[in-house]
Amino acid sequence: MIHVTPVILCGGSGTRLWPLSRTGFPKQFLCLTGVESLFQQATKRLSLLSSSDMEVSAPLIVTGEEHRFLATEQLREIGLPLGRALLEPVGRNTGPALTIAALAAMEAGEDPVLAVTPADQTIANQVEFTKALRQAIVEASTGSVVILGIQPDRPETGYGYIQTLVSGSAYAKCGLAELSTVHAFVEKPDAATAQCYLETGGYFWNAGMFVLKASVWLKALQVFAPEIYQATQMAWDTRTADALFVRPGKSEFAAIPSKSVDYAVMEHCPGSAFPIKMVPLDAGWSDLGAWDAVWGVLPKDAQGNAHLGDVITTDSYNTLVHATSRLVSLVGVSDLVVIETPDAVLVSDRKCSQDVKHIVDALSSSKRDERCLHRKVHRPWGWYDILDEGGRFKVKRIQVKPKASLSLQKHHHRAEHWIVVTGTAEITNGDQVLTLTENQSTYIPLGQIHRLANPGTIPLEIIEVQSGSYLGEDDIFRYKDTYGRANVKTE
């Protein structure tokens, strides 16, 4: 029996998919190709690996502290268990991320095969993916390092390549089913070189999917990047745990050198004591790295248009429109990307969609909120949507999940009016505990300790009207909190 632990690397911000993808709700948690997010799709793909000779455990999720509840809530939505969520206090690339996953996997004294995949990719053919990954797992169980290589169908300049020791004609004969030895990893090529790779054969896209035993990764890391191994071990040794959330030491983790799996280890493996085998994968893979890639995988009408949401077009061709909150209309245009959200709209030539990152850089430089948050902001207890705001007021629509509650808190600069729209609200307002239902309201004076909770079985919705001299989200002092965010410790 081969013991397998899926590892889902769930970091990254997906800046090229702005304005839909933002720091607070990044690409991997978006539903871009169907009704499930890319993270949910990745988790479900790995859950189907179990067979008579393979035991697959609940996945290890490596993600940022701020995304822990997004990940767990999305797993709950699809009915899949969480092994543990390893929470990075800061981003340090995929090398340290895989290292804390390997250390966690070996904690119980076992040495499982790690099936490592990013959370932000899409696969069209589940059967072929499962077949290739099982083949890689069997090989990795013997101590090999195995990578999945994507069969290229065009001269792509946006991906790194894997150069194998098998010619293209040999792959054609064996039907892309045989393991081969990796000769080298190649950086993203220019167009002429990419065309040469495609014609020569034996070159595959590097999708960042690796399969190897936890101990093999740690041994290779000690050889090729001992500074990462030592620093990550220190961060792991100073970890804290809260239920299924595991937090490496914050200052120790911040001191780890930032390197990818490729740069830290994989590129050094060919010709070493850790040779890499490759399993070819031809299963309709895409990393959805920009809006043109999203257009490429979506169903289209007879004019080549891929439209989501409320969209009307005439005499338009090969366009991508994602309408979130209002009607979007196109007339007489071609090859455009239009992404509409309640607080930002992107219009781009489809072939320039990689350059969206420059807009995100400009937003970061000017410290605009649209870089990080949507108007509708998700929280572990539910969400809020900012309906309107001015100099001394802000109006929010707030939804609280059944049996959930906000923190016991106060504000130094604002007062609040709460009006219940649907559901039942249990409200702590100073010394009072009130139960309010539809059309009832209460007033929270400035500085008053208060809490909003939903004791019911249906979502609670309220309208909140804030007034005061400062209405920022950081004007919250928490006394008690279900989600570990309290400012003070209480008995």
Q: Is 332 inside a domain boundary?
A: yes
**Percent of the chain beyond pLDDT 70?**
97
Whole-angstrom distance, CA of residue 250 vs CA of residue 90: 8
The pLDDT of residue 166 = 62
Q: What is the DSSP string of 280-342?
A: EE-S-EE---SHHHHHHHS---TTS-EEESSEEEES-BS-EEEESSS-EEEES-BSEEEEE-S
Closest CA to 393 of 463, 345, 336, 447: 463
* Secondary structure of residue 221 in the 3-state scheme: helix
Closest CA to 76 of 407, 402, 453: 402
Looking at the structure, tell me whether residues 278 and 303 fall in a common domain.
no
pLDDT mean over 185-193: 93
Beta-carbon contacts of 14 under 8 Å, excluding residues fewer than 6 positions away, are 21, 26, 27, 28, 30, 120
The pLDDT of residue 318 = 98
Q: Please state whether beta strands 382-389 and 376-379 pair in parallel, antiparallel, or not at all (unpaired).
A: antiparallel
What type of residue is 281?
Answer: L
Asked whether 148 and 281 are in contact (CB, 8 A), the reply is yes
Local confidence band at 490 (pLDDT 50, 70, 90 cut-offs): very low
Q: Is 294 inside a domain boundary?
A: no
Asked whether 72 and 99 are in contact (CB, 8 A), the reply is no
- The model's pLDDT over 280-326, given as tens digits with 9 standing for 90+, comes to 999 999 999 999 999 999 999 999 999 999 999 999 999 999 999 99
Element (H, E) at 430: none
Cα 96 from chain centre: 17
- The model's pLDDT over 400-412, given as tens digits with 9 standing for 90+, comes to 999 999 999 999 9
The alpha carbon dihedral of 78, 80, 81, 82 has a sign of negative
Looking at the structure, tell me whether residues 103 and 235 fall in a common domain.
yes
Looking at the structure, tell me whether residues 354 and 262 fall in a common domain.
no
Whole-angstrom distance, CA of residue 205 vs CA of residue 188: 10
CATH number at residue 280: 3.90.550.10
The alpha carbon dihedral of 14, 19, 23, 27 has a sign of negative
Local confidence band at 242 (pLDDT 50, 70, 90 cut-offs): confident
Looking at the structure, tell me whether residues 347 and 256 fall in a common domain.
no
Whole-angstrom distance, CA of residue 391 vs CA of residue 406: 26
Q: What is the DSSP string of 336-389?
A: EEEEE-SS-EEEEEGGGGGGHHHHHHHHHHTT-GGGT--SEEEETTEEEEEEEE
- What does pLDDT average to over the chain? 93
Whole-angstrom distance, CA of residue 477 vs CA of residue 466: 16
Looking at the structure, tell me whether residues 282 and 333 fall in a common domain.
no
The pLDDT of residue 108 = 74
Looking at the structure, tell me whether residues 279 and 306 fall in a common domain.
no
Q: Is 292 inside a domain boundary?
A: no
- The model's pLDDT over 56-76, given as tens digits with 9 standing for 90+, comes to 999 999 999 889 989 999 999
Q: What is the DSSP string of 150-187?
A: EPPSS--SSS-EEEESS-HHHHHHHTS---EEEEEEEP
pLDDT mean over 360-385: 93
Whole-angstrom distance, CA of residue 138 vs CA of residue 374: 43
- The model's pLDDT over 442-487, given as tens digits with 9 standing for 90+, comes to 999 999 999 999 999 999 999 999 999 999 999 999 999 988 777 7
Q: Is 489 inside a domain boundary?
A: no
Looking at the structure, tell me whether residues 204 and 336 fall in a common domain.
no
Q: Is 229 inside a domain boundary?
A: yes
The alpha carbon dihedral of 468, 25, 264, 99 has a sign of positive
- Residue ending a domain, choose from 254, 286, 318: 286
- Which tokens go with 279? 């399993």
Q: Is 155 inside a domain boundary?
A: yes
- Residue ending a domain, choose from 286, 315, 337: 286
Q: Is 165 inside a domain boundary?
A: yes
Whole-angstrom distance, CA of residue 394 vs CA of residue 471: 7
Whole-angstrom distance, CA of residue 16 vs CA of residue 355: 7
Sheet holding 432-436, edge to edge: 432-436, 425-429, 450-453, 408-410, 477-480
Total tally of structural domains belonging to the chain: 3
Structural domain harbouring 236: 2-286
Looking at the structure, tell me whether residues 277 and 346 fall in a common domain.
no
Q: Is 178 inside a domain boundary?
A: yes
pLDDT mean over 164-188: 70
Asked whether 206 and 151 are in contact (CB, 8 A), the reply is no
Looking at the structure, tell me whether residues 347 and 411 fall in a common domain.
no
Whole-angstrom distance, CA of residue 85 vs CA of residue 76: 14
- Residue ending a domain, choose from 256, 286, 316: 286
**pTM to 2 decimals?**
0.89
pLDDT mean over 92-118: 94
* Secondary structure of residue 275 in the 3-state scheme: coil
Looking at the structure, tell me whether residues 162 and 309 fall in a common domain.
no
Looking at the structure, tell me whether residues 316 and 214 fall in a common domain.
no
- The model's pLDDT over 142-174, given as tens digits with 9 standing for 90+, comes to 999 999 999 998 999 889 999 997 654 444 444
- Which tokens go with 406? 């906000």
Local confidence band at 384 (pLDDT 50, 70, 90 cut-offs): very high
Asked whether 74 and 29 are in contact (CB, 8 A), the reply is yes
CATH number at residue 427: 2.60.120.10
Looking at the structure, tell me whether residues 310 and 278 fall in a common domain.
no
